[in-house]
Amino acid sequence: SYRNNNVKDIKNLKFIYGTKDKLARFNPENEIHANFDDQDFEIMDDTGHFPYFERPKELSSILEKFIIGNYEK
């Protein structure tokens, strides 16, 4: 589809999923995931839809590594 053809051109993107998220579940068979590498995904254990409330330190660490890693490129 048009939308998915453009997705592959997006750079500096990180998908963050929680294992207990009932609204946005990680599905490796989703066609959008075919356009990205494993390193573009982060799965947070024992976390639902609101990682910034449930595990703020872990989320901050993930975001910090992502931002710094992309800044240094």
| The pLDDT of residue 4 is above 60 | no
Write down the pTM of the prediction: 0.79
Q: What is the pLDDT of residues 29-72, one digit of tens each?
A: 888 787 788 889 999 999 999 999 999 999 999 999 999 987 76
Question: Bigger pLDDT: 51 or 25?
Answer: 51
3-9 contacts at long range (C-beta below 8 A, 24 or more positions apart): 4/31, 4/32, 4/35, 7/32, 7/35, 8/35
pLDDT at 47: 97
Compute the residue count for the chain: 73
Read off the tokens for 23: 């609204």
Question: Bigger pLDDT: 4 or 11?
Answer: 11
- In whole angstroms, give the CA distance from residue 64 to residue 62: 6
